Structure 1
C-alpha cells in the first residue's frame, strides 16, 4: 500500500476467467490515512483498465470447459498488455494480483490461476484468491453506491438472494438445480439463437417482440427456486408445437415467469430484514425487463433498485480486483501453496473483513 500525502493507495490487477469471458482489470483504491481496524472500508475506486474477450461457440452449441480454457490461455497475454497500456502503468506499480479462486468451470479457472500464480512469483507481488460472487457484489456496491441492499445475484452459473450480516454474505435463497442464466442459454440453443453477444441477450430481444403469455411451471419453494422443470416444459413445446407458438412468445413467457419467481423471493428477503434497497448483479442482471419488474416491486415497498450496465454486470477483471483489493487492505493474501481453485466456492464461505 503506497502512501500519497494524507491518503494511502492500492493498485490491484484482477484476472477473471471462471466461464467463457476472460477479463483483465486494473483499479486504484484511495484510502484516507489512519483508518481504524473496525471501520468499514469504502475507498474511492478509480478504474484504470477494464478489458475483456469472450469465447463464443457456433449457434446452437454450448461451450466446453477445455475449449474455454484454450481460449483463455491464448488470449490472456494480449489482454494483459492491453490493460497495462490502457492504465498507463507497469507491473512495478502493482500492489497485488487478484484472481478468481471460484466458483466456476474447472479448466478455465485453472488456466487463469496459473497465470496469476506465475506473475505473482515473477514480479514478487502478493497474490489474492477472490470469490467470484463476492466480486460481483462488491463491484455493484462500488458502482451504485448502495449501502446495505438485498442482493439478487443472477448469472450463467449462479442464482442467489443474498444479505450481509456479521462479516458474511448470507444466502437467503438460491436455485435448487440450474442457474437462471444456464436455463436461458440452453433454451437459446433449442431456438438456434447466436451466442454473440450472449444467448441471454438474444432471448431478451426476442422477448421484447413477444405478446402472448404461455403459462409455464412456476416453482418457488420457500426462499428457493427451481428452473429445470420450466426448461423441460418449454423445450417440449418449442420442439413439438412450433406452429402453435412463436419463438418470440416463448422467450417472452420464459422471461416473465422466471423473473416473477425471482422478484417474489427477493421481496420476501427484503421484508425479512427490513431493507428498502435491492441490488441486481451478475450477467442476467443486465436484462432491462428484470430491472423493470424489480423496480416496480421496490417502488411498491417505497424502496429503490440499484443495477449496473454491461461493463460491470457481465464477468470482468475489475470486479475481481475490487474484492481482492478490499481483502488485501485488511492484510489478507493467498500463499502460493494455497492458490488452488475450486468450482464450489460458496458466497457465504468468505470472511468479509472489510465490512463491519
Structure 2
C-alpha cells in the first residue's frame, strides 16, 4: 500500500508485485481561483480525509490489512507539512497492522509507475510537475539528472500564471490553461531561456504576467493567446533539452511523467521530435501522471523486494530529496 501527500493531492494505492493496480483513490485540496495552497491548510486537509481514503483503497482492492506486505510512503521531495501529515498516518498504521515501512522518493515513484504502465524499458524520462522539472536517464543504479530547471518548475510557472488571470483551480490550474490555450489564435513572442541542458522559467513567468496586466484590457491580445503562447514556448524548451539528452545517451524513446505530463499538447510536440529520431513516445493520462498512491506503492514494493525497509526512527521526510540520491538496486540492466 502506497501513501502520497507531497502537495495538494492525498492518495492511497494498492498494487501487486507485478505492477497490477488494485486500487488508486485520491482527493485534491482545491482553493478558490486566484489563490494557491499553503502547507498548513493542505496538511490539515490531508489529515481530515486520509483514513477514509485508506478504507476506500482496501475496499476497492478487495483485501484486508493482513494481505499487505508493506506500507510505502513519500519521503520527499515535497511540501514539509503535507509530507509529515501522511508519514504520521503510515507510522500509526504500521504499528497497528504490524507492517514494515518503505520510504519512497516521489520522483522515482513517477518514473517506475510510468515504466510499468507504459511498458517502457529504458527511455529518457521527462519529469514535469508542479514542483519538479527534470530530464532523466538511468545509468549504473541511479536515475541521473541530465537537465533541469534552475529556478521554478514548469507546473509552478503555469499555476502562477493561472492565478494571475483568475483561472479556476478545479480540477487544476494547468488543465484549465491547457483548455484555454486551445482557443488562442495569436502567438506572442516570449523569453526562451535554455542554458545548456537546463532551462529557466522565472523570466517567462514574469513576462507573461506583465503582458496579461497590460495587454488584455487594451485589447492587444486575449488570455487564450497568452496561454497558447506560454505553453508553446515552454514546451519547445522542454523538447529541446530532452532531445539533447537523447543524443547524449544514444537513446530513441522518451517517457513523460508528472502532472504536466498529461498535457496533450506537450505530448504532441514531443511525439513529433521522437518520431523524427525513429523512437517511441510513452505517455499516460491523469490516472497515472498526476500524483497517486499506486506509484508510491509500486516503487516501494520494488525496493521492499530488495530488502529496503526503514525503522520507525528512520521514517523521516525530506523536502529536497533528489532523484539521483536513490540507489536503484531493483534494476539489473546496465
TM-score in terms of structure 2 length: 0.98
Whole-angstrom distance in 1 between the partners of 2:322 and 2:66: 33
CA distance in 1, matches of 2:136, 2:97: 36
Q: For residue 287 of structure 1, what is the aligned residue in structure 2?
A: 263
User: Equivalent residue for 2:100?
Assistant: 126
Q: Answer yes or no: is 1:24 the counterpart of 2:12.
A: yes
Equivalent residue number for residue 227 of structure 1: 201
Q: Secondary structure at the match of 1:45?
A: coil
Moved segments of 4+, more than 2 Å:
none
Q: Alignment partner for residue 64 of structure 1, among 35, 38, 50?
A: 38
Question: Corresponding residue for 1:86?
Answer: 60
Match of 1:317 in 2: 293
What is the alpha-carbon distance in structure 2 between the residues aligned to residue 45 and residue 136 of structure 1?
Answer: 13
- Give matches, 1:5-44, under 5 Å: 13-29=1-17, 44=18
Aligned to 2:241: 265
* Count of aligned residue pairs for this structure pair: 330
- The residue that corresponds to 1:37 in the other structure is none
SS of structure 1 residue aligned to 2:111: helix
Q: Distance in 1 between the 2:51 and 2:91 partners? A: 14
CA distance in 2, matches of 1:117, 1:353: 25
Alignment counterpart, residue 351 of structure 1, candidates 295, 316, 327: 327
Gaps of 5+ in 1: 1-12, 30-43
Task: Say yes or no: does 1:110 pair with 2:81.
Answer: no
* Equivalence map 1:201-220=2 (5 Å): 201-220=175-194
Aligned with 1:138: secondary structure? helix
- Bigger Cα displacement from structure 2, 79-88 vs 152-161: 79-88
Q: What RMSD over aligned residues (CA atoms) do the two structures have, in Å?
A: 0.5
Shift of 1:46: 1.4
Write 1 or 2 for the structure with the bigger share of strand. 1
Partner of 2:136: 162
Cα separation, 2, equivalents of 1:60 and 1:344? 27
Q: What is the CA–CA distance in structure 1 between the aligned matches of 2:262 and 2:316, rounded to whole Å?
A: 31
Stretches of structure 2 lacking an aligned partner (at least 5 in a row): none
What CA distance in whole angstroms lies between the structure 2 residues aligned with 1:212 and 1:300?
27
Match of 1:151 among 125, 137, 144: 125
Q: Helix, strand or coil for the counterpart of 2:32? A: coil
CA distance in 1, matches of 2:111, 2:260: 14
Deviations 1:12-42 (A, max 9, x none): x00000000011100111xxxxxxxxxxxxx
Rounded to whole Å, the distance in 2 between the matches of 1:234 and 1:309 is: 27
Distance 2:56 2:271 in 1: 37
Report the Cα distance in structure 2 between the residues aligned to 1:319 and 1:16, rounded to whole angstroms.
9
Report the counterpart of residue 9 of structure 1 in structure 2. none
Determine helix, strand or coil for the equivalent of 2:24: strand
What is the 5 A alignment of 1:181-220?
181-220=155-194
Give the TM-score normalised by structure 1: 0.92
Confirm or deny that 1:76 pairs with 2:50. yes
3-state secondary structure, aligned to 2:303 = helix
